[in-house]
Structures are given as structure tokens and as C-alpha cells.
Amino acid sequence: MKLAKKFMLATTALAGLASAASSEVADDSRLKTVLDRGLLQCSGHNGSFLGFAEVNDEGNWKGIDIDLCRALAAGLFGTAKDNLEIVPISWAQRWPALQSGDIDVVIKASGWTQSRDTDLNLAFSRPYFISTYQTMAHAELGAETLADLGGGTLCVGAGTSTERAAATYLEANNIEAELLTFENGDELRNSYYEGRCDGQVEIAPGLAAGRVDAPNGAENHVILPDVIALEAVGIVVPEGDDDWLDIQNWMLSSLWFAEAEGITSENVDDIRANPPSEVVAKFLGVTPGYGERLGLDDDWAYNMIKEVGSYSEIYDRNIGSGSRYGLERGLNALYKDGGVFYPMIID
């Protein structure tokens, strides 16, 4: 009995410590700064990055990255309305803007590379998108592979991992081609459309979007099969801010969990009213615990799903089957559907 009592006391004490520690947020965490400010400042784009960060005809931001900014704001504040500022920045500005505090997080199709991870004092979340670098070429050139564009010019974004990957691939495969770089995505695509470049190197979703918008018709452009590189795209926060990084990882996991459980923005209220399991009840804040450990309200995931939906809803409406780009999920599907993504365990 004495042993059992000691065990119970120890368990109670540990549970108390865990509860106290779980709800604490470091004073210097970006999470505390954002919550105190009541506003999330999230990265946008200085032009349009189709499918990820673009401005529609009504002047509103849209795209996968923008929806993740909205999801984050909804999780933090209950709604993104009046609690989210999309800050337009270039590719090159994203790291200084994050380090200086001009933005709180970089959600901007940013590839996870060793130099960014180690030299720039940045921390990456779990990948939320797997992209392949490929080349789109003018069909009239008759190119079937990238080697067929040897001696020509390729348009590519300046200062991006795409530029580095293209240079590495060309060197490794002894292909002589000039890389013509651009800071602005619209300028890059227009230069390609106007024939200044024989090919355009970009991630596959960007090429699919660009082909749809080609002034002379999508049929006059081909996406070459060569995979220049494969890149894991993640959310970026300052290194050493574990509380803020936890929020990003659990936000992504929650979007995948909702998809795996069939929870959508349309049915989340019905499921919350009658959750099918204890885990779903906890996930939607019906029972306590899912938010407290992160320093958030327990219904943070419910608010997020209610406002932006699951990962599949975000993907489909921005770049997948519900968009004009029609890009299949492929590797970006859940593991059970042949992809690489999966939610973490909720306990």
C-alpha cells in the first residue's frame, strides 16, 4: 500500500509539473510576442507566386502559403479576420525580415537546405510540401529533355534554391546553358513567354500554373521530364524558439489529422457536437488538453479547421482539383493515399 501510495503521489506530482510546464511560454518566444500584439505578421510576396501567394481580381491574397498564414492566425486568435497581416516581401527579404521581427514567420515556399538550417540561425518545421524542380520549354523548340536546351538560356528566380539546384544540375550533366535570374515572378514568366529564355526552371506547381496562363496557349509549352532536384518545403522561424516551432508543427499535423479523420470546414460543427472518438473530442476542444500544452486555447484546432479546412481542402482549392491548375497530390498526399504526409499522435 505504501509503495502504491508513493507511486500515486509521484505520478500526481509529475502530472502537476507537466501541466504547469506545458502551459508556459518562454518570455522571449515569438509566440508570446504575437499573442501580446494580437496580430500575426506573415510573409506574402512582392508579386504573384501562383498557387501559393497570389492576389486575385478583388485584390485579396490567396494560395497555399496564404491559407497556412490564415490557419495559423485562426489557431492563435480564434479567427484570422483582423488578426493577420500579409507582409509583401521578396525572396531575398524573407530572412532579414524574419530575423529583424518585421515578420513573425516565413510561410513562403521555402526549401529546407543545409545552409539555411545551419548558417542563418533558422529553424524549419516539418515539410508541408514536396516539390520537384523541372523545366518548361517552348514546344516549338522540340526539346524532349533538358539536354536539348544546351546552348540556350533558362529563366530562374534570383537567390532561390531553384537557382542553385539548376546550376548544380547543369554542371553535373555537362549542359552548357545560361541562367537568367529575376527577383519578380511576373517578370520571370513574362520574359519566358516573350522568348528571352528557351526554358523556365521552377517547382512543378509553378510551372503548371504558368502553363495555364501562357498567352499563346498551354499547348505551346511542355514540361520536360528531367527532375532537377526534389525539395522539402517548410515553415521557417528563428532558431532556438521551441515554443513557436511547436506551434507550426502542430498546426500542420492538425491539418493532416483533420483530413485523415474526414473533418472538413463544412462538417466540423457536426463532428464536434458528436465526436466519434476521445481523440477527436480532444482535437476539437470538446475535452481539454490539446491547446494547453502549446499555450493556446483548447479549441484552437477547431477554429483553424472551421476557417480554412483540412490540408486537402487547402491544397485542392489553391492548386489541386478544385483550382484551375489541377495539380494532382502525388507525394503531397497522406501516407494512406500514396503520399508522404501523416499526422502526429494526439495523446
For the chain, 347 residues long, give each residue's pLDDT as a single digit of tens. Answer: 343 444 344 444 444 433 433 467 898 899 999 999 999 999 998 877 888 998 888 889 999 999 999 999 999 999 999 999 999 999 889 999 999 999 999 999 998 988 888 888 899 999 999 988 899 999 999 999 999 999 999 999 988 878 988 999 999 999 999 999 998 888 999 999 999 999 999 988 878 888 888 999 989 999 898 889 888 999 999 999 999 999 999 999 999 999 999 999 999 999 999 999 999 999 999 999 999 999 999 999 999 999 999 999 999 999 899 998 878 788 899 999 999 999 999 99
CB 97 within 8 Å of CB 89: yes
Query: In sequence order, what are the residues at sequence separation of 6 or more whose Cβ sits closer than 8 angstroms to the Cβ of residue 140?
Result: 220
* Strand (E) or helix (H) holding 124: strand 122-124
Question: How much is the pLDDT for 330?
Answer: 81
- Phi, psi of 117, rounded to the nearest 5 degrees: -70, -35
pTM recorded for the entire structure: 0.79
Choose among 236, 214, 215, 211: nearest CA to 224: 211
Query: CA distances (Å), 300 to each of 42, 171, 235, 294, 309, in order?
Result: 18, 48, 19, 10, 13
Choose among 243, 249, 263, 262: nearest CA to 303: 263
Question: How much is the pLDDT for 23?
Answer: 60
Question: How much is the pLDDT for 279?
Answer: 98
DSSP classification of residue 141: G
Query: CA distances (Å), 46 to each of 16, 19, 86, 131, in order?
Result: 48, 43, 11, 21
254: buried, middle or exposed (CB in 10 Å: 19+, 13-18, 0-12)? Answer: buried
Q: How far apart are CA 80 and CA 73, in angstroms?
A: 5
